[in-house]
Structure formats: structure tokens, C-alpha cells
Amino acid sequence: MSSRKPLFSRQQLNWIIIILTIVIALLSLSSPSVSWPTLQRQTLAEVPLLSPAEPAEHPDLLRLVLLLPPYLDADAPLAASLEQLLATQLSAQPLPGLIQRHRLPDRLRLTLRLQPDNAIDALLDALARRPDPATLAEAQRRLTAARRLADHQPLPGAWPDHPANEDSLEQLYGNWISRAQLRLIAARPLTEQERNHWQQGLQRLAIGTPWPSTPPRLPASTQRSAPQTEHLLQVQRDLPGRHAPDYDPTLLAVQWLQQHAARAGVTLDWQPRRERSRLTLSYRGDTAIEPDRLLQQLAQVARSNDSDVAAMTDKLQQRLHASLSQPLGYLDLLETIATYELPLDALPRFAATIERFDDASLQRQLGELLNPAAYQTYRLSPLSQEP
């Protein structure tokens, strides 16, 4: 019998193994495998609860989100007054389960450990307890003074004069700390015992009334003068809200502008909301500038760096994937879905949008985003140079 000669020598086989190993490693780097959580929605005592459908490796964390009256700026006097009242109520007794309190432009979050049950009871007791009349009266006095000061600001805020902000502080606080404004986000599925405990505990809170959801319209363009030496220019426009199908690519274009606005001498403020978002571009300088010229400068700077789009999307993908493995980052992602009632597959959808976003996508978005006809203009000139 004649023995067959091997197809490959030992040395050739070793080289094939090395090459295959390198190819597999490169493929794993370029196309990372991401396991997106399967999410579920439940309701406890009329309060929406969002959690993974399957057990997760994250710690026993739960987040309570209280939706603020709509369309406040992050530093609005009313938002600060409501947060201070809540902080006073929470500090009245030990709350060992509470590990974080943080205010965002449209909501306040409380992060706590799910165990023990008495820590949850203590927190719900603190939320259900109303501020005493003296505390409310002092808070109302300070809010009134802060609002008078805000009324003298030279240019409008992002969401000026919304009807929901005209009620008294006591009325607003009472409706804020209610089940209508509450969202629950758990890092793992709750057990039946935990759901029953929350079901009973949440009934200590008033039901409340949902905040009005109609966004205020942009104020009409204005031109004024004041005793100052600088020119102020602010342009604002409305953009899709988080529920809109074109919100994600709009968000990516806005984030691109945020990276480059300072080089164009522009300050950018972005206020995303459920039904409608608002973009504000501001300029302050010794010389006047026309709105069209301001937008043109920003467009030129943004388009001159469009070769870096891939770098931006890579960083966003990495940040999104990293958040899935970080307990608080994971809760942040779920909180966004719960707050704005987004689809349960919002995370993989957003990841897909990032992956498709390229130079051509950016150019299309910038053309729409920086269209001068879509903006209202607010100008403040020095008295000596008033036209």
C-alpha cells in the first residue's frame, strides 16, 4: 500500500492556524457582538414599571423617576424650588436604601437598593409626607423673587411662559409627588413578593393628574436694546421630539454640532422632549452679526470636519455598549425608554441608526438643521448702536 502525501505540511498548517486566528480577532473587533436586553413593561398601582424580562447580572437597583412640570430649563427657579422641597422631605428621616438623587432638565431621579423592604417603605413615607405650611410659604417667597429676577433676563429661555408653571408651588409640588408623574425602572425583574410590596406601598401616594403635553410655541422674533456694551443674538427652532421617527439622526447631527459650535463662536443649547425638541444657538460679541451669517459660520465649521464622522459614531457605539455593562449606565438607558415611553427595542434601533450614519447622512441633516427659515431671532443691541 502506498501512503498518501498530506495536503499541507506541518509548517503550512501552523501558518493557516495563525492567519485564521488573526482574521477571527479582526472580525470580532470590527463587528462586536452585543446582547441587547429583552425588556418588559408592567404596571404597579397605576405606575409604569420597566425592567428586563430575563434575570440580569446587575445589582439589585431600582430607580424612581419623577417627571417635572414640562418644558423647564435645567436651572429654572421652579425646578430648583421643587427639588429643594423634596430634599427637605427626604432629609427628615434616615433613608439607608437611597444611594443617589439627581435632577435632569425634565425629571428628577432617585436611585435605591431593592433590599431591604423597610428602606423602600421609608422612602415612600417621605414622598407621601407633605411639606409643612411654613416651609411652603418660605419656598414660595423665594420662588417669586427668583421669577422676578428671571423676568429681567434679556433673552427668552428655551421654554418660556408655559401654562403649567403658573400654578402655586404647593399645587405643583402636590401634583409632582404623585403616581401620575412617577416611573419605575428596575435593573432586574422584580419577584412576585417585591411587586406586591410596591403595589401596596405606592398607594400611599396620590394619583395626581398628568402634566399637559402640548409644547409651547416659539416666541415671535424680537429686537431690543439695553445699556450694555455687547451684542447678543439668539436663534431658536423646534425639532422632532423623541417619539418622532427621524429623532435619532437629528440627535446625531446635533451632537456633531455640539462638538464644533465653539469654533464658530456659538453656544449651543439642546432641549430634547417627547413631543418636540428645541435647539437654541447664541452669540455674544463686540460686533453685530446677522442670523444667516451665524448659521453659515456654524455650517462651514461643521462641514469642514465631516471626515471625522466615523470617529464620532465609533465612540457613540462604544459608549452605548459600555453602558450595558455598567449598573448605573444600564439604568440610564432604561430610564430614557421609560421616561419617554419609547419602543422596547429602542436601544438596538438607535445602535442601527448610529451604524448607518455617515458623511452623506450628516450633510443631509445639516442642510435641514441649519435652514435659516426655520429659526426665530432674538436680538439685543447696545443702546448707543440701536438702529
pLDDT at residue 14, rounded to an integer = 62
pLDDT in tens, 268-294: 999 898 888 999 999 988 888 899 999
| 141 vs 81: CA distance, rounded Å | 10
Contact status, residue 235 vs residue 283, Cβ threshold 8 Å: no
Query: What angle separates helix 77-90 from helix 117-128, to the nearest 10 degrees?
Result: 130
Residue type at 165?
N
Q: Sign of the C-alpha dihedral, residues 245, 248, 253, 257?
A: positive
Q: Is the pLDDT of residue 317 over 90?
A: yes
Q: Looking at 141, 167, 202, which one is the last position of a domain?
A: 202
Residues 260 and 314 in one domain: yes
Residues 235 and 280 in one domain: yes
Q: What is the CATH number of the domain that holds 273?
A: 3.30.830.10
Confidence (pTM): 0.83
With cell 459650535, the residue in question is: 261
Q: Could you tell me if residue 4 is inside a domain? A: no
Provide the residue range defining the domain that includes 234. 222-385
Q: Which carries the bigger pLDDT value, residue 136 or residue 55?
A: 136
pLDDT at residue 386, rounded to an integer = 44
> Based on C-alpha coordinates, what's the Rg of the chain?
26
Nearest Cα residue to 276 out of 235, 215, 336: 215
Pairing status of strand 376-382 against strand 222-226: parallel
Q: Looking at 202, 232, 247, which one is the last position of a domain?
A: 202
pLDDT at residue 51, rounded to an integer = 95
Residues 195 and 80 in one domain: yes
